Amino acid sequence: MNNFKFSDTNKRYHTLDYFYKHKFNSKVFKVSLNAGFTCPNIDGTKGTGGCIYCSKSGSGEFAGDINKDLITQFNEVKDVILKKWPNSKYIGYFQARTNTYASVKTLKEKFEPILKLKDVIGLSIATRADSITDECLEYLEELNSRTYLTVELGLQTIHEKTSNYINRCHSLEEFDTMVKKLRERNINVVVHIINGLPNETKEMMLETVKHLNKLDIQGIKIHMLLITKNTKLEKIYEKNKFNVLTKEEYVDIVCDQLELLNEKIVIHRLTADPKLEDLIEPNWVVKKLCVLNDIDKELVRRDSYQGKYCI
């Protein structure tokens, strides 16, 4: 019997679906968009070439077609969803690259038209901790007063050595400071982390989660490191076949991380979504449902749940 309080199903963790259903009393979908932003780690401001795993789409593999305007991108996805879930609500998800890395004038031109669309209840904005100016913070605070706003911050790891290796180009201190600034304005924060980064041990991955537990964050996305074509990571892997986590190792680590995480933190993602034609390793991520099912089974086997060992 599952007695985890943030669940109406067999899930033993705080799912995004559960959160949306109880907050909005409706099925809610995030519609991924590509607004054509760049990144300070690409344009030379902080670095060039991006993080070593970053694809040409800037982690927006399933975002909209950059050659189409944002309204068209949005409606193409919405039209498909409507056929199956006619009474849904929507969140515009600005996913590809760094979506606050522009003037506030430009941000308004991108964000505001999406907010005016029918049944859109909010925005989710993916960005970096070093790419939100004070002026941008003021705009985000104002946005947050009139819609459901979430800012998604990429962290990946708390470990400086790994961060330097993957060419992250910002510090943990910058990240922690930005989380604090966003929360002072009551803006929801979701953090992205990656398991299986080169040379990281299981304990290091757990330490990243322990650190996040000390911060006031509202959600987390846990990814498996993907080695994809035409990235720096592909070249590194070709030269030196570093250890890639097996599915069993990944499931074990994720379950340990869930046990440590505060039960109120919403789990937005527990595995990655690769484009099949671009994927090199690991091939087990392709069967996303199998990975999620295995996580569920392992939590049942342990008779465990999110937050069991949260301090």
Query: Residue 241: is its pLDDT beyond 70?
Result: yes
Q: What are the domain boundaries of the chain? A: 16-302
Instruction: Return the top range by mean pLDDT from 66-70, 85-89, 223-227.
Output: 223-227
Cα 56 to Cα 134: distance, rounded to the nearest angstrom: 29
Strands 120-127 and 89-94, by their bridges, are parallel
Architecture of domain 16-302: Alpha-Beta Horseshoe (3.80)
| Secondary structure of residue 300 in the 3-state scheme | helix
Instruction: For 155, list phi and psi in degrees, rounded to 5.
Output: -120, -55
Among 21-25, 271-275, 305-309, the least confident range: 271-275
Quick: pLDDT tens for 177-229: 999 999 999 999 999 999 999 999 999 999 999 999 999 999 999 999 999 99
Cα 70 to Cα 68: distance, rounded to the nearest angstrom: 7
CA 24 to chain CA centroid, Å, is 21
Cα 80 to Cα 91: distance, rounded to the nearest angstrom: 15
What pLDDT does residue 1 have? 52
Residue pointed to by tokens 């401001």: 45
| Secondary structure of residue 2 in the 3-state scheme | coil
Residue pointed to by tokens 């029918």: 118
What pLDDT does residue 176 have? 98
CA distances from 274 to 61, 72, 221, 300 (A): 8, 24, 15, 27
Quick: pLDDT tens for 118-139: 999 999 999 999 999 999 999 9
92: left (phi over 0), alpha (psi -120 to 50) or beta: beta
Cα 271 to Cα 13: distance, rounded to the nearest angstrom: 14
Mean of pLDDT over the chain: 93
Residue pointed to by tokens 């995030």: 30
Cα 283 to Cα 274: distance, rounded to the nearest angstrom: 10
* Alpha-carbon radius of gyration of the chain: 19
Looking at beta carbons, which pairs linking 131-138 to residues 24 or more positions away fall under 8 Å?
131/39, 131/40, 131/98, 131/100, 131/101, 132/100, 132/178, 132/181, 132/182, 133/100, 133/104, 135/104, 136/100, 136/104, 136/107, 137/181, 137/182, 137/185, 138/104
182: left (phi over 0), alpha (psi -120 to 50) or beta: alpha
Cα 27 to Cα 18: distance, rounded to the nearest angstrom: 9
Instruction: Look at residues 154, 188, 210, 165 and name the one whose alpha carbon lies nearest to residue 40.
Output: 154
Given a contact cutoff of 8 angstroms between Cβ atoms, the answer to whether 114 and 82 are in contact is: no
What pLDDT does residue 146 have? 97
Given a contact cutoff of 8 angstroms between Cβ atoms, the answer to whether 16 and 266 are in contact is: yes
Instruction: For 207, list phi and psi in degrees, rounded to 5.
Output: -65, -35
What pLDDT does residue 182 have? 98
